Structure 1
Amino acid sequence: MLEGNRVSRISVRGFAVASATAVTTVGAVVGVASGDTQSSKSNDLEATASDATLLADIPAGQQAQVQTTSVAQQADAQAMAADTAAKKSAAEAARVQAAKAAVAKQQAAEQAKKDAAEAKKKAEEAKKKAEEREKLENKASRSSTRDAGSFAPQGSYSVSQVQSMARQMVPSGQFQCFSNIVSHESGWNYRATNASSGAYGLVQALPGSKMSSAGADWRTNPATQIKWGLNYMNDRYGSPCGAWSFWQANNWY
């Protein structure tokens, strides 16, 4: 009922505004035509007052519309602000996560570097211990081996006899390497001679006369040749196995 009254009021006032405007306009024209300036002014003031009174009375429906528009704009602004804050928060979280990942990666790399250095150190220590152990074993083996002079001289020697002498003179851990070299150089023939170079004996000493430092019977005594060959390999390559490694790479020693 109240809203109906407002609608009726709006309609009546609208009509009143239109009527007043029309009357004011006609009066103004008549006044000008008749020269009644005072009457024209009076009519203009009345119309203006009437318009002001009617326009100030804004209908409730229009007020509600204005309020609704304002609330919608505020909601949009708040939504935009919330979206901006959410994006900023997500970007910050991503930055923090990336920083943590970078730190973790750097720490892993540093740890891997430390582990590699530690592994290298342990490997070097193990190698050093192995070399020391090998030296001790070779020393012990040499102390338990027989000297060339402990074998009685013979007129001739078979391959098996020469190999048996070598097993007793060469340290056990080095015998296979020594045997590999002799097998390639002379085939265990203590009288083997290289016709082109003059190399002689089990280890193909060049010239053969070098072996005289181990004994005057170097031409006929395999034990003397073994002694000289073993000393040569130890002095130049550290051991028969060192000599064999060199021989494999170069086909000579």
Structure 2
Amino acid sequence: MGTKAIESAIQNLTKIVIGLQNKVTSLEKTILDQNSLINKLITGNGNVCVPENTKIIGEEERIMTDRMNDQMKSEISAPTGKTKIVTSTSTSVSASASPCTSDWRERELLNIAPMDNMHRDAILGDFNLYSCSSQVCNYFEYFVAFCELIQCNTVPNCTGRQLDLVLSGRNNGGVAVVAADEALQPVDAHHPPLAVTVTIAASTAKSAHSDSPHHQQNSTSSCSVHDWSDIYNIMDPDTVLDNFYNKIYGVLAECVPLKNDKQEINPRAHSAASPVPY
């Protein structure tokens, strides 16, 4: 066999070996990802919290990856960076299921959402969970179960999904989501405008402004003569909200005075300097 033929054969064999190595590397990465997910779902007492539709690796694959456990442990870490809280409308989360209780998971979740306040919070956002990986969805489902949240948006988009999510505590029944009649921005068929109503229990604290009917009539009249047209010309919802509140606060300052602190009209009959006579 000539030298060129030998070199050509070596090159072909080299390509075959490289191709096999790439396939092995890809397979090992897949096994590592799956085994890493299982390890993350194992609780401190040895129980396993597996969300619905999670793929479980086979025993043979687990044996193949035993030799890599040390490396995997160093790669397993808590999620970092800014976290947007999302939910899935296609997979139900059982409230009775015990969430995973690994120490670092609890610390991260408590940093994201303090448990003493979640029952009265509402979380809104465009998260497009449908396009997220299964691992991200699994983390989300664990977060929802851990914080006892529910997804309140049932308004479908053009594909029948909910990409914009509204999360609320399970004990907070004051969140209602419906399709909005008007939109502040051009409508995206994948993100229909939503009207979110949050009912808040009346506070026992008294208002600092006067509650006189006369002042209320003045403020109503002032609101009717104010020019609100500039709000409709603003495309940014946050700017619209700021301008709206600025106008309302301006009307209050103009028409509704603050209450005066009540002073004692009648002096005390007795004090330490004038003891009570017998």
User: When the two structures are superposed, what TM-score results if normalisation uses the length of structure 2?
Assistant: 0.24
- Which structure dedicates a bigger proportion of its chain to helix? 1
* Larger RCO: 1 or 2 (CA < 8 Å, sep 6+): 2
